[in-house]
Structure 1
Amino acid sequence: MLSIKVDSNIVNSLPKDDPEASLFRAVGDRFGSNEIGMIIIKSDNVLMPNVLDDIALITDSLSNFPELTAITSITNIMNLQVVDGDFEVDNLINQGNRPRNRAQADSLLKIIAANEMVTGNLISKDGKAAVVMFSYIDSVAVEKVSANMMARIEKLPINEEYYFAGAPFMRTYVSKVVRHDMSRLIPISFLIISLLLYLSFHNLRGIFLPLLTAGLAIVWSMGVFALLGIKLSMVSNNVPIIILAVGTADAIHILNRVNHCKEKNQATAVRLSMNVILVPLILTTLTTMVGFMSFIFGAYLGMIRDFGILASLGTFFAGILAITFVPALLATLPHQELKKKKSNKPSKINQLLLEPLSRKVVQQPRKVIMVWLMIFALSIGGIFMLKRSVSVAGYFKKNHPVSISEEILAKDFGGTKPIFIVFKGDIQSPKVLHAMMDMEDYMKKSPLIGSTQSIADIIRNLNYIIQGQNKIPDDESSIGQLWFMLSNQENLNHLVTEDLDQALIIAKFQDQGATSTIDIQNYMQRYFDAHQSEDYSVQMTGMPFVNA
């Protein structure tokens, strides 16, 4: 049980043949990663010398992680320019232009703000936020790497406000929340149920036996779960609480029946009681198990199936313990007669609630039935008003780092969730590069897309620097020369494959409501249908579509 792990990655819960998940995994295989992480740095002006030192410190620290690639920030991003007819590559912020005071920082911000490839991606327009962006190498333990990274960054002498952002860190936070909830909610549940049991039985065995039954069932089921190599998820982490509620019920029925048995011999009282309630207990356990097992055979998501496995296991163990362990333990204990009431006066709860309710039910059954039928009809109508939400960030409180980072990314960096457009074809072809630029221009017209990035952007920008033309060249020879200049840039591997037969457009998606994912799918599908070509093929994926 102590070795059980948490998996908060919804992609792992989807079937291997799920088309969206398959394409999303394929992006990771082909381009080295589909996992993008970010560290946001907040300050009054991120171009101030002390802030740049902090950004550089974070950037350099991340470079020590072999599991990361394409580590990019304003302190290490390259700047391409032509000086006296010669092509030069230098850092965007270098020794020549690095600010030394506020005035120089403000001046540099105006220059950088004109750079579309940097502004909105690595630095906000107002200069009050910067991002260190990186990708995870495919097939690494993303959550473990993220946790180690967070621990290392938190030890650095950083004076600015910073946040960890992106899906990998969100899953790391979710895993922490799952473990925290289990360590807090299970004891609280035990305490509340203990109080209710004491109010019901007024003795230790009435508290101890039901809780022992549920506790053993939880330990057994969680232990088997761990031995099978199944991990907890955001759904299955709630099962111990469910087992606690379900597992105590059967033991309570047995205790109550034995307590009301008039037989003085305890062993005989247990035997007579079990003869009466054994079949109902078995049927109760079986029907509850069948209910949970329906998740195993009917669920599309692996995390829902795992929930069904764990819950049905816990119910089974609780039922077995209730009909074997509890009677055996009771048989060894002395007989305990119910305490006679000191007064025949009915209790307040009987007078104020139970007796009036029973009279109402017996005297006016038709009205009671009508009330429940009306509630049923209203509930049926309410079912069609239910809305689905797959925003994990929405599960966190507004003051949680996840919520704060999501708000910063949405406001200053064009969105929080990356969308990948996969182009297959000859990426050196002018037709393909023009098609990529046209698609980016189309995507930017949507209010749901904050910004885009692709190899076509870089080619166009490089052509502008060298030739003064802000467009993709129309001839292959000019494009070939530009490709040659970029041949040693390793940071481009996340945008284009080594064979130059596939490339990505990475767009930032702004989730603006429940229909946003469907809206952007329909918006892009119209473009795909109108721009089909024999020179290339296009596919779209990303976590917004995987979650949908």
Structure 2
Amino acid sequence: MKLKPLTALCSNSYRSEEMMQRFNEFVLRFPKSFILAIAIITLGMGYASRSIRMEPDVTQALPQKIPAKRLYDKMGEIFPSKEFVFVGLSGTNLFLPEHLQTVWDLTNKLEHDSAVYSVISPTNISVIQGTREGMEVHDILASAPNTDDQIAKFKHDLLNSDLALGNLLAKDESAFGIMIFLKNTADVKEYIKDLIPAMDQFDQKTDLDLLLTGKPILNYYVSLGMQRDMAVFFMSGIGIIFILLAFIFRNLRGIFLPLSVVIFAVIWTMGAMAILGRPMSHATEIMPILIMAIAVADSIHIISHFYHHVSLSPDPVARTITRATMTEMLSPVVMTSLTTMAGFLALGTVGAESISELGYFTAFGVFSALIISITWIPAFLAILKIPKRYRGKESRRHAADWVEKWGFFLVRRQKWLMPFIILMTLFSIWGISRLQHSFSSVENFPVDHPVRFANEIVNEHFAGTTSFDIMIEGREPGDMK
């Protein structure tokens, strides 16, 4: 009776092996069909991936269980604007007529944009004055001041305004500030994309130094940085993998097949994200390089075993050698891929949405690499001719020689190996204790980057670029009256 579970386990294992071998035979029976199918799927996913978008806003990744996140989203639903851009204009002697005319013209231009909810500027704020009857509210300016008396009165009103001083006028009178509040319905990225070159053109027409900052500006530059970093990581990864494959196999087949698996797996994953409408975030931007590192391993194992079988046969047949290779490798490749997928799927338990998506889509990328590795590679190996130089002799490769020498080196010095590992582990634990957490996206930019420079200037001369929102909510409609 106690042997039944073991017998059942062996039976299930046998059935799994049998199913895998049937799948292997099916691939080898129709290799060209599988090659065509993989190519068509890749083209389709590649086309879909063109619409993938970037999401640099870290607040979108926060889970709804955080009260501050729920309040943040609720404020966006209730109030017409929660994002603002800060425009700074600095220079010497700000209160010259031509400088005030520049601020006046810029304010009017910004107010008439359809994406803008409101603009708060030194030239359009309201002034509150006490009177015998109570108080009087009027615009600070009816037109741009151009006489000494008008400029003096305007300056006096600004310096005595709690709203303006420190927010719209630097306390040292070195800069003006304009706050642009955007509508919640506005396409912020497109607005910023148009605003930056427009402000550059405006900057060339005045001797004031113009700078832009604020969360929308920061997110725009972060988005550009994410696109650039992903391109650099991807191309660097492809280059490194190409060099390693060339060093290991030294033939086009050994380079092309693993490299195609890597590229196809990334394309499939990016296409899946685009189809599901999921953006690339701070977390998922590292996903392509993760998939590349994982996807290349199985294909290297398969091709290495293929050449090993070729070396053992004086007159090898490609289809027969491929069958023998996949008979040995199919089960290990599937099992290692499934366990890797399980590890990444565990990230789905994390509360942050972007981290969960990193786990889900990386697991999908590993699965894609698995499907491509067990179809695309054996299909090609089965139809390509085996070069004569590999037949009937062991193909010694520099990589194998190096690994063998490294193994002998470790064996000869095994008594030093364990103390070294323990020492490195202790050193790593000490290093982990010194890790620091940074939540400032601005600090990720180089010191001379425009967005970091603008942020530092605004924080130095004005109240700052970070807002703190407080919402007071009544229990019944009309409680706030």
Q: TM-score range by the shorter chain?
A: 0.7 to 0.9
1:120 maps to which residue?
A: 166
On the 8 A contact 2:127/2:137 being kept in 1, the answer is yes
Higher helix proportion: 2
Higher strand share: 1
Change (3 A) 1:314 1:348: closer
* CA distance in 2 between partners of 1:413 and 1:260 (Å): 70
Q: How far did residue 407 of structure 1 move?
A: 0.4
Which position in structure 1 is the counterpart of 2:346?
Answer: 294
> What CA distance in whole angstroms lies between the structure 1 residues aligned with 2:397 and 2:307?
21
1:306 paired to 2:361 = no
Alignment of 1:379-418 (within 5 A): 379-418=428-467
1:234 aligns with 2:285: no
Contact in 1 for aligned 2:81/2:184 (Cα 8 Å): yes
Partner of 1:420, secondary structure, is coil
Call closer, same or farther: CA 1:390–1:132 in 2, change over 3 Å: same
Q: Identify if the C-alpha distance between structure 1 residues 397 and 84 changes in structure 2 by more than 3 Å, giving closer, same or farther.
A: same
- In the alignment, what sits opposite 2:337? 285
Asked if structure 2 preserves the Cα contact closer than 8 Å seen for 1:213 and 1:248, the reply is yes
Distance, in Å, in 1 between the alignment partners of 2:291 and 2:389 is 29
In the TM superposition, residue 259 of structure 1 has moved relative to its aligned partner by 1.8
> Take 1:327 and 1:293, find their aligned partners in 2: how far apart are those partners?
28
Aligned Cα RMSD in Å?
3.4
SS at 1:135's partner residue?
Answer: strand
Tell me, in whole angstroms, the C-alpha distance in 2 between the residues paired with 1:218 and 1:251: 15
2:368 equivalent in structure 1: 317
Contact 1:62 1:149 in 2 (8 A): no
Code of the aligned partner of 1:387 = Q
SS of the residue 2:227 aligns to:
helix
Q: CA deviation at 1:134?
A: 2.4
| Counterparts in 2 of 1:204 and 1:44: CA distance versus 1, 3 Å | farther
| Equivalent residue, structure 2, for 1:215 | 263
When structure 1 is superposed on structure 2, of 220-229 and 268-277 the one drifting more is 268-277
Q: Counterpart of 2:22?
A: none
In structure 1, distance between residues paired with 2:342 and 2:175: 53
Q: Give the distance between the partners of 1:333 and 1:88, measured in 2 at CA.
A: 89
User: 1:67, CA displacement in angstroms?
Assistant: 3.1
Alpha-carbon contact 1:5-1:232 (below 8 Å) kept: yes
Aligned to 1:267: 319
In the alignment, the residues of structure 2 paired with residue 244 and residue 345 of structure 1 have an alpha-carbon distance, to the nearest angstrom, of 26
Partner of 2:88: 40
How far the C-alpha of 1:233 sits from its partner, in A, is 0.7
The match for 2:187 among 133, 141, 145 is 141
Q: Secondary structure at the match of 1:217?
A: helix
Greater mean deviation of Cα atoms: 391-400 or 65-74: 65-74
Q: Does 1:331 align with 2:382?
A: yes
Structure 2 residue 467 is matched with structure 1 residue 421:
no
Question: What letter matches 1:289 in structure 2?
Answer: M
* % identical aligned pairs: 27
Give the match for residue 248 of structure 1. Answer: 296
Quote the Cα distance in structure 2 between the aligned partners of 1:132 and 1:25: 25
Unaligned runs of 5+ in 2: 1-48
Q: Of the candidates 391, 399, 421, which is equivalent to residue 372 of structure 1?
A: 421
Q: CA deviation at 1:42?
A: 2.5
SS at match of 1:163: strand
Distance, in Å, in 1 between the alignment partners of 2:404 and 2:89 is: 60
Alpha carbons 1:35, 1:168 under 8 Å: kept: yes
- Rounded to whole Å, the distance in 2 between the matches of 1:345 and 1:290 is 36
Match of 1:22 in 2: 70
Counterpart of 2:249?
A: 201
Matches of 1:361 and 1:23, distance apart in 2: 58
- The residue type equivalent to 1:501 in the other structure is M
Which structure exhibits the higher relative contact order, with contacts defined as CA atoms closer than 8 Å and separated by 6 or more residues?
Answer: 2
Larger mean Cα displacement after TM superposition, 188-197 or 403-412: 188-197
Residues 89-145 of structure 1, C-alpha deviation per residue, up to 9 Å, x if partnerless? 444355585467xx9979965774443321210121222222210222335433333
1:7 aligns with 2:55: yes
Pick which of 325-334 and 63-72 moved more. Answer: 63-72
Question: Residue type matched to 2:59 in 1?
Answer: V
Q: Say if 1:14 and 1:367 are closer, same or farther in 2 by CA, change over 3 A.
A: same
2:113 aligned with 1:65:
yes
C-alpha distance in structure 2 between counterparts of 1:345 and 1:153, whole Å: 63
The Cα shift of 1:245 comes to 2.1
- Contact 1:398–1:404 (CA under 8 A) maintained in structure 2: yes
- Structure-2 separation of matches of 1:320 and 1:349: 27
Matched with 1:545 is none
Please tell me whether the aligned partners of residues 166 and 462 of structure 2 are also in contact (alpha carbons under 8 angstroms).
yes
In structure 2, distance between residues paired with 1:326 and 1:346 = 21
Counterpart selection for 2:480 from 490, 501, 518: 501
Q: Aligned letter for 1:404?
A: F
TM-score (norm 2): 0.78
- Residue 420 of structure 1 deviates from its aligned partner by 1.8
Query: Deviation digits for residues 360-381 of structure 1, max 9, x if unmatched?
Result: 5213424311221222233233
- Per the alignment, residue 131 of structure 1 pairs with 177
Q: List runs of 5+ in structure 1 lacking aligned partners.
A: 427-497, 503-548
CA contact (8 A) 1:54 1:158 kept: no
TM-score, with length taken from structure 1: 0.69
Between the aligned partners of 2:281 and 2:144, the Cα distance in structure 1 is 51
Instruction: Check the 8 A contact 1:48/1:99 in 2, yes or no.
Output: no
- Deviation, 1:21, is 0.5
Q: Contact 1:62/1:71 (CA < 8 Å) preserved in 2?
A: yes
CA contact (8 A) 1:35 1:167 kept: yes
CA contact (8 A) 2:97 2:145 kept: no
- The answer as to whether partners of 1:43 and 1:51 remain within 8 angstroms in 2 is no
Comparing 270-279 with 227-236, which one deviates more in the overlay?
A: 270-279
CA separation of 1:333 and 1:180: change in aligned 2, threshold 3 A: same
Gap change, CA 1:347 and 1:182, over 3 Å in 2: closer
Q: How far is the alpha carbon of 1:301 from its aligned partner?
A: 0.9
Query: CA, structure 1 residues 345+294, in 2 after alignment: closer, same or farther (shift >3 Å)?
Result: closer
2:236 counterpart of 1:188: yes
| CA 238–338 in structure 1, closer or farther in 2 if over 3 Å, else same | farther
C-alpha distance 45-26 of structure 1, shift in aligned 2 (>3 A): farther
